[in-house]
Amino acid sequence: MLISGRGSNLKALIDACTDGRIDGRIITVVSNRPGAPGLEHARAAGIEQTVVDHRRFPDRAAFDRELAATLESSAPDLVILAGFMRVLTPEFVARFAGRMVNIHPSLLPALRGLDTHARALAAGMSTHGASVHFVTSELDGGPVIMQAQVPVCPGDTGETLAARVQLAEHRLYPAAVALICSGRVQCAGGTVLYDGQPLERPLLLDDLPEAATQCIGSP
Ligand code: GAR
């Protein structure tokens, strides 16, 4: 797994592996930031952690080469980006094509890029959410596996909306990774296959906590 920060999605995935919702094991956690709080979740769970500090490398390509070597030393079946805030080179993406996923805080293809919660509010959207997708060299543009929707509530700020999306993410990412680990979801030729059939639209997660789907306190 690759992280850069808080690691709440990492924690949700650790919990899902522990309680059997995911038939898989997190072998290693790599952070590009020394001291990323998420590393503590890995430590507490007894998972190997490595820091590959991007500031030590002359350019993006050199950093990505070291990152790829670090990952490949543990021969992962799946590479999971969870709040990993570095743009990856096409060479890195090609190396892990079809076996690398990301979670993005919007209902893709809407709102690729950064500051999605503020942009959802500014655009007056009534529904927002998160997406899990296979990673391609197009930023936030790979085929989407599963999404979770949350309402934009009256009085929302970027922070309150982000908190609702994150609650949804903590169900969404384990659900999507579970489908990959069970073999039901695969990526073939840039398309998501679900039970061997091309997925026409992203799966929609409906098993969300009430706090993610309700505008608490609003009429
Ligand atoms: C998550 O909300 C994830 O969707 C977002 O970063 C957050 C990481 O939180 N990812 C991106 O914005 C990627 N473009 P976490 O560190 O607590 O899992």
Domains of the chain by residue range: 1-96, 105-131+145-219
5 is in an annotated binding site: no
pLDDT digits (tens, 9 = 90+) for 92-150: 999 999 999 999 999 999 999 999 999 999 999 999 999 999 999 999 999 999 999 99
CA–centroid distance, 103 to ligand 1, in Å, is 7
Is 1-96's fold the same as 105-131+145-219's? yes
pLDDT at 108: 98
Closest by Cα among 28, 18, 38, 49 to 178: 18
142 is in an annotated binding site: no
* Residue whose CA is at the smallest distance from ligand 1 atom 14: 104
- Reduced to 3 states, what is the DSSP secondary structure of residue 105? coil
Residues with CB under 6 A from ligand 1: 3, 5-9, 38, 82-83, 103-105, 130, 166, 169
pLDDT at 147: 98
60 is in an annotated binding site: yes
- In this predicted structure, the answer to whether residue 219 has a pLDDT above a threshold of 70 is no
Between the CA of residue 3 and those of 9, 125, 152, 157, 176, what are the distances in Å? 9, 29, 27, 25, 18
Tell me whether residue 133 is one of the annotated catalytic residues.
no
pLDDT at 112: 98
* Residue whose CA is at the smallest distance from ligand 1 atom 9: 83
Q: DSSP label at 109?
A: T
Between the CA of residue 165 and those of 8, 33, 76, 189, 217, what are the distances in Å? 12, 24, 28, 30, 17
Kindly indicate whether the domain formed by 1-96 is annotated with CATH number 3.40.50.170.
yes
pLDDT digits (tens, 9 = 90+) for 4-56: 999 999 999 999 999 999 999 999 999 999 999 999 999 999 999 999 999 99
Amino acid (1-letter code) at residue 61: A
pLDDT at 216: 75
**Overall size of the chain counted in residues:** 219
- Tokens 């995935």 belong to which residue? 13
pLDDT digits (tens, 9 = 90+) for 204-217: 999 999 999 999 76
* Residue whose CA is at the smallest distance from ligand 1 atom 3: 83
**Encoded tokens for 176:** 């999507």
Parallel, antiparallel, or unpaired for β 197-198 and 191-194? antiparallel
- We find that the CATH architecture of domain 105-131+145-219 is 3-Layer(aba) Sandwich (3.40)
